[in-house]
Chains A and B, each alone.
Chain A
């Protein structure tokens, strides 16, 4: 990756905190942002028995991969934007190439390759250790400045807004 894609470490740390710690479902799955660069994110989810989709094989459910890719893609979009704003998934297409191997953590690398005034375009790959050997790939679009609703009293929201800003 070109070095000018690197982000200041404090921004990466803020992202890790905002996009995982303040997002209940990311915490519930055990998602973590492993690495980040401008427009790029690497997000992982550990293997967990509660995420199994087929008890006979122990293979993780496809829905977990969908969530991992959606989360990684959304993170990549945030990392591509000049300022923080709320975003919402418009569409997401997932292609499943092979089942995940039971017992292994999953990694997703997402790249937001184009941002327009209203829409961000992003693709992602889920794999174990080698991105060239994908478990699933995705392509999606996100709506920018998606929601103009006023913040609620949902407990996680306060810290989320304080760190991420609410430019929507």
Chain B
């Protein structure tokens, strides 16, 4: 497997203000993409546990899916989310979170993506999501 640097993918992510706000970065090993959500106290939704905000975990999974789509289909056009279903499996601890996504089906206009998030142990997922994304076709300049 060739180790190709992916400056474009990281630049793509860092160019998204909301990704910078959450503190998301990308680690690429060959064709394997792992997204990283760096822990910050501003991501806390439950101060008692404490635990990450459920919305943050959902947003991170959505971003992970978008990054995977961008990697596999080209980063020129941002895929638009149509729908996303998030299952919360464990509370997100106050530590870094990792994400991975898999395109289960890519059609001409719509792609179906599965995403997962974990923290200390990849076999103990904290959340999963599946979603549909509208792909902007090259001959559709506005991609509505």
Contacts and interface: CB of A to CB of B under 8 A. Distances in A.
Interface of A: 22-28, 49-55, 60-64, 66-71, 74, 86, 88-96, 99, 147, 149, 151-152, 154-157, 160-161, 166
Interface residues of B, number: 40
Nearest to A62: B81
A73 B30 CA distance: 40
A67 B88 contact: no
B54 to A, nearest CB: 4
Contact of B17 (A55, A69, A149, A156): A55
Contacts, number: 154
Interface of B: 15-22, 41-56, 58-60, 62-63, 78, 80-88, 91
Given A62-B84, A66-B62, A25 B45 contact: yes
Nearest to B131: A94
A151 B58 contact: no
A62 B62 contact: yes
A24 B18 contact: no
Contact of B50 (A50, A69, A152, A166): A152
